[in-house]
Structure 1
Amino acid sequence: MLNLSIVLEDSARKAPDRTAVVFGDLRLPYSMIDTVARQVAALLVSRGVGKGDKVALACPNVPYFPFVYFGILKAGATVVPLNVLLQGREIAYHLDDSDAKALFCFEGTPELPLGERGRAGFEAAEGCEHFFVLPATPLATESEYGESFWAAIDGMPAEFETVQTDPDDTAVILYTSGTTGQPKGAELSHQNMLMNAVVSDEMFPRAEGGDVSLAVLPLFHSFGQTTVMNSGFRRCSTLVLMPRFEPGEALELMRKEGVTLFAGVPTMYWAMLTKIHAEGAEVPRSLRVAVAGGASSPVEVLRDFEETFGIGILEGYGLSETSPVASFNQLGRPTKPGTIGTPIWGVEMKLIDSDWKTIDGEGPGEIAVRGHNVMKGYYGRPEATAEVMRDGWFRTGDIATRDEDGYYAIVDRAKDMIIRGGFNVYPREIEEVLMTHEAVSLAAVVGVSHDSHGEEIKAYVIRTPGATLTEQELIGWARENMAAYKYPRVVEFRDALPMTATGKILKRELR
């Protein structure tokens, strides 16, 4: 018996009155998060959803996220977290692909009409039977989009015995855009997720009066889910939820709530430092640990942060397929800025060539990972799984070097992936969508460097003969058909694109 929900249950038993979640003026204790999660589990079971079933969750960083996430786990079901920026057709794809039986969807706001998109996606997905709305108005029992969460759990028992799951049962399916274009679901077991949370927690000493963590990394993403929520709940931390990153507000929350732990992507650090230097924003002094991942941090940012905040940023590395943490600059060992550190406890890493042969010395080579953190495989995709897994090793597609002390440094990313503001964007997926436009004959998408996002998405497009499509028209169309982090912000029309003899577009000539 092993269930990831133990990270919440154990803390709710040990410290029921400790504040688990802060959201605006709301302060919710561990006992309440656990009680509502039990009601969610009872609701699912009452609707015929149980062990082994998949339940999708589309929700930003608000208290509903832990309520529903742990409720699904308690019911013995599998959580399928969805990116909140997905459009209706993308939500339908994820629901169909994961065989989700139910969807819990945040109602959204005028700026982020998630309820509307979620309802459209639910309607279009064949096998999804239940749709629960997480209302934007606290405790609202009605919603124009469907059954309200509060009405649904009303009358559900506050007692629920967590369904027994095995260590290898699937706890979470995290979607990652493969280079093949369509997103694939990485199946992560209770053991994968629990071990990663435990090891992430044990890497840092606990604060005397308890830790306070700023949860601004999206909880639907592996980085926020494991290193902020799951490890935070395991160590009885208080999570200060922030649905949308804004540098001034983040600094203010850190000061006000006495935040001791912060995990973010490099652009968040860059934005906070810019705010401090440009506007003289006050530096919060409570911070003890700062962690970065998702993309390489510019060394300038690392240096500036250490000078400004008096502590260094610890950089790590991982992927959805590795639960996610694989390596880290760990406390108690020298930190090497610009590296991703050494493998975490229980995990091995090596460098390989394209034929899986081990590369000795400093490389470069492709990182392969083996250990308790490696996924079971891609859900329903044995061929795609076989391409990246062999003898327990997972090949990451990231090229790195390794120094004499065993520290790895990323040289280049898997072929063409673009990382925009910490989100992975795969050009092929964008190209496929652009080419559904009747005026687009051919498209090639590349990342171009950008001051605040790290990379911006640029599309080179050949129009169909006679088409009069303008750049702005195509960008506007793309915005409506793709998630906000994916659509190209820059379009350049060309009469021809550079190609190899076999007709492959030479992207390196476009960058």
Structure 2
Amino acid sequence: MYNLATNLERNATFRGNDTALIFHDQTISYSELNKRVNRVANQLVRLGIKPDDKVAISCPNTPDFVIGYYAIQKVGAVTVPLNVMLKGPEVAYHLDDSDAVALICYQGNSALPCGEYGYQGFSDTESCQHFILIETEGNESPASQEAHSFNQWLQTEENHFDAIYRKAEDTCVILYTSGTTGRAKGAELSQSNMLCNAQACQALTNQKGTDVSIAILPLFHTFGQSLIMNTSILAGSALVLIPRFVPKTVLQQMHQHKVTHLAGVPTMFIGLLAFAEKHGGDFIEDIAANLKVAISGGASMPVEILKQFEEKLNVPVIEGYGLSESSPVAAFNHLEYERKPGSIGQPLPGVTMKVVDDKGKTQPRGKEGELLIRGHNVMKGYYRKPEETAKTIVDGWLHTGDIVKMDEDGYVFVVDRLKEVIIRGGYNIYPRDIEETFMTHQDVHMVAVVGIPHKTYGEEVKAFIIMKDEAQTTPKEFVAWGRERLADFKYPRQVEVVDSLPMTATGKILKRLLK
């Protein structure tokens, strides 16, 4: 029997006075965190939330995300984390597709109007019955009259709630990801998937209760959720929460709280390295004295950046690989073995990988092919999408869509992406989603979206548009139109109007010729 929240309960019992969360000037112990989670869990039950119900949460890296996430787990429901940058129609799609019956939503402010977009999406989703607002101090939300108050829930005194036990195969979370064949799909991950991945990550990073990790990656994202939050709660270590990545702030917090474990995407390491090189001195030396390991994922780390970061912070940087569909961690370089720059390392214990050609034949070492994964980390499937699941998981093997090669020592190197996913600053962006949105514009005849190189983000989104006859929309106006309808990390910053697009004889756009 499983429940991810029992890791929290165990630490509240055995190390209740130890620090669980650090946020600005707040320090929350494991005992207090568990009480707050219990208060919210009791209120969710009062709303009628039952085991297997889907509850969405949209919140940046604050204690409220952790509290809401584990409260949903405690009642046996399924957590559906949403990107805080989603606009109203995008929120509505995710709520409807996941069958969410409730949305816990951070109110935010004019710079990050989560509450406004969340309420818009909630209002447009018939199946979603409850809107729970995490109020932001000094803000008035148009949803406040109809919303349940998360903040008031936290003021109650119902401090006891025993986690409802689940079966290993019961769904724990639904993490949304996309593909090139349609809109976002919910990867259904079991209690076993999530617990085993946290255990593997704890062993991988040698994380103990005396350690301090820092959450600079968003916790609604699969990487931050498993490798940082769930691993920290499992280990009983302290977790410093950073709601917005600012290199100066991150390094100050690392210095102040003696952070031992850092995880991020390459663009974050680039930003931290640039600040450290500029400001250096005793400040950076003190950080380096405490830092035990740095973990990079989400995209390939430039080898030169990896070497410079290791030298500047005197810390091993281990690169890894994962997908939402693999809980997410599937492979990593290991601390106790040789770390090969540019490699994603070796499979986790209990995970098997193979490289196959387009006919499914296993490739010899050194030869390129598609990466397939099998093990405890492979998802149950895409929620309510059996046909998509059948295409992705074949005979127990997860088809990643990534082209790799494996060297003689079993280290895996990513060569290219079979799928057309664009990785911008660690965020996965899927062209089809953007293309479908732009095809609703009255002046668009055809559109192709690709990723182009970018110094800071790795890749940037560019749209090539063929306009309808007599249309007058300018590229600048297309950019503004996209910004209104797509999450801020996703809309195309560049639009080029063209007369034609390169195509095959069968009419398929040759995107590689656009890059």
Band the TM-score falls in, shorter-chain normalisation:
over 0.9
Supply the distance in 2 between the matched residues of 1:476 and 1:62 (Cα, whole angstroms).
Answer: 30
Residue deviations 1:379-434 (CA, integer Å, cap 9, x gap): 00000000011221111001100000000000001332100000000111111111
* 2-structure distance, mates of 1:405, 1:144: 61
2:179–2:419: 8 Å Cα contact kept in structure 1?
A: no
Superposed, 1:450-465 pairs within 5 Å as 450-465=454-469
Larger mean Cα displacement after TM superposition, 178-187 or 336-345: 178-187
How far 1:136 moved relative to its partner? 1.5
Q: Which residue does 1:385 correspond to in 2?
A: 389
Deviations 1:14-39 (A, max 9, x none): 11011111110011111111111112
What residue in structure 1 maps to residue 202 of structure 2?
A: 201
Partner of 1:299: 303
User: 2:172 — aligned with what?
Assistant: 171
Q: For the Cα contact (< 8 Å) 2:39–2:153, is it kept in 1?
A: no
Deviation at 1:362, TM superposition (A): 2.2
Check conservation: 1:115, 1:145, Cα contact below 8 A.
no
Question: Post-superposition shift, 1:280?
Answer: 4.4
Question: Can you list the C-alpha shifts for 1:156-213, whole angstroms capped at 9, x where unaligned?
Answer: 6211121121010000000001222300000000000000001110123346x81111
Aligned residues of 1:351 and 1:400 also touching (Cα < 8 A) = yes
Shift in Å, 1:358? 2.1
Q: What does the per-residue CA deviation read over 1:484-509, in whole Å, with 9 as the maximum and x for residues that have no partner?
A: 11100011111111111111111111
- In structure 1, distance between residues paired with 2:389 and 2:280: 50
Per the alignment, do residues 19 and 434 of structure 1 end up closer, same or farther by CA in structure 2, a change over 3 Å counting? same
Displacement of 1:465 in angstroms is 1.0
- Cross-structure match for 1:162: 163
CA distance in 2, matches of 1:100, 1:107: 19
Contact 2:214–2:239 under 8 Å retained in 1: yes
Helix, strand or coil at the partner of 2:205: coil
Query: Which residue identity does 1:68 align to in structure 2?
Result: G
Name the TM-score, length of structure 1 as normaliser. Answer: 0.97
Which AA in structure 2 matches 1:34? N
2:313 paired with 1:312: no
Aligned partner of 1:66: which letter?
A: V
Query: Which residue of structure 1 aligns with residue 127 of structure 2?
Result: 127
2:210 aligns to what? 210
Gaps of 5+ in 1: none
**Aligned-partner Cα distance in 2 for 1:153–1:313:** 39
Partner of 1:262: 262
Query: Which range moved further: 158-167 or 256-265?
Result: 158-167
Contact 1:43/1:156 (CA < 8 Å) preserved in 2? no
Q: 1:148: which partner in 2?
A: 149
Asked if the contact 1:302/1:312 (under 8 Å) is kept, the reply is no
More displaced 10-residue stretch of structure 1: 481-490 or 142-151: 142-151
1:190 corresponds to:
191
Show the 5 A alignment for 1:432-511.
432-511=436-515
CA shift at 1:139, angstroms? 12
More divergent stretch after superposition (144-153 vs 368-377) = 144-153
Counterpart contact for 2:41–2:75, Cα < 8 Å = yes
TM-score (norm 2): 0.96
Cα deviation 1:336-367 (Å, max 9, x = unaligned) = 11000000111111112233332232221111
| Matched-pair contact (CA < 8 Å) for 1:186–1:375 | yes
- 1 CA distance for matches of 2:35 and 2:237? 18
Is contact 2:187–2:383 with CA below 8 Å preserved after alignment? yes
1:228 to partner: Cα distance = 0.4
- Structure 2 residue aligned with 1:62: 62
Work out the CA distance in 2 between the residues paired with 1:40 and 1:319. 30
Secondary structure (helix, strand or coil) at the match of 1:349 reads strand
Structure 1 CA distance, aligned partners of 2:319 and 2:145?
A: 44
> Could you tell me whether the CA contact under 8 Å between 1:42 and 1:156 is conserved in 2?
no
Query: Aligned with 1:182: secondary structure?
Result: strand
CA distance in 2, matches of 1:21, 1:133: 21
Structural mapping, 1:314-329, within 5 Å: 314-329=318-333
Q: In 1, distance between residues paired with 2:387 and 2:472? A: 42
CA deviations on 1:299-349 (whole Å, 9 max, x unpaired) are 111111112111221000000011000000011111111000000111111
The residue type equivalent to 2:18 in the other structure is R
| 2:403 maps to amino acid | I
Find the aligned partners of 1:156 and 1:443 in 2 and give their Cα distance: 55
Per the alignment, residue 226 of structure 2 pairs with 226
**Residues 454 and 460, structure 2, Cα contact 8 Å, conserved in 1:** yes
Matched, 1:334 2:335: no
Q: Distance in 1 between matches of 2:55 and 2:280?
A: 45
1:413–1:314 Cα change, 3 Å: same
- Report if aligned partners of 1:217, 1:223 keep a CA contact under 8 Å in 2: yes
Q: Report how many residues are paired.
A: 510
Quick one: structure 1 residues 186 and 206, their matched pair in 2 at CA, closer, same or farther if it must change by over 3 Å? closer
Conserved in 2, the CA contact under 8 Å of 1:217 and 1:264?
yes
One-letter amino acid of the counterpart of residue 439, structure 2? M
Comparing 268-277 with 50-59, which one deviates more in the overlay? Answer: 268-277
Alpha carbons of structure 1 residues 269 and 153: separation in structure 2 relative to 1, 3 Å? closer
Deviation of 1:154 after TM superposition, in Å, equals 4.7
Compute the RMSD of aligned alpha carbons: 1.7
Over the matched positions of the two proteins, sequence identity in percent amounts to 49
Q: Whole-Å Cα distance in 2 between the matches of residues 169 and 206 of structure 1?
A: 27
2:34 matched to 1:72?
no
Task: Measure how far apart 1:7 and its partner are.
Answer: 1.9
Verify: 1:239 aligned to 2:239, yes or no. yes
Please state whether the residue corresponding to 1:56 is helix, strand or coil. Answer: strand
Shift of 1:464: 1.2
Distance 1:356 1:205 in 2: 36
Q: In the alignment, is the contact (CA less than 8 A) between 2:216 and 2:245 conserved in 1?
A: yes
Aligned twin of 1:90: 90
Unaligned runs of 5+ in 2: none
